[in-house]
Structure 1
Amino acid sequence: MHNYRSFQQIEADLRVLKLKKQVDLLFLKNSISSTKQSLSFKAMMANFLGGLGFTLARRRNQIFISALEFGLRYFLKR
């Protein structure tokens, strides 16, 4: 518990608490907005297709590397 020596100290603390409350409310509103956007159909499809594209690209790279290794082994054994 804080001991106050004047009403000005009380008012200053109340102003600080009010500002903190406003900041917290803005963060909450921003979080809700971000959550709504991330749960939209468009965002979900973009995330799904982006992940699928990454998976396919990674698989294509793995196939290319395997083919390259096979080709190098083939030519080195000759």
Structure 2
Amino acid sequence: MKRKPSKSGFAKLIASDGTLLSADPLIELLELETETVQIELAMNRIVAARLVSTLVEFAAEGLYARVGSR
């Protein structure tokens, strides 16, 4: 069964998972499943740190927006 794209026009994240490929050097395969596509990203510690930083900044913006609206 094919799912319809979300109303926003962006693909909705359905599932995510990680698989350790190597401990030294540290490499993990990040798998993201959306309504329309599966994304696989092999990342090292540097890429993972950048991704975490971006997500923390995003989450902080949402937190500040809620606190500021009170």
Larger Rg: 1
More strand by share: 2
Interval of TM-score (by shorter of Structure 1 and Structure 2):
0.3 to 0.5
TM-score w.r.t. length of structure 1: 0.35
If asked which structure has higher relative contact order (CA below 8 Å, sep 6+), I would say 2
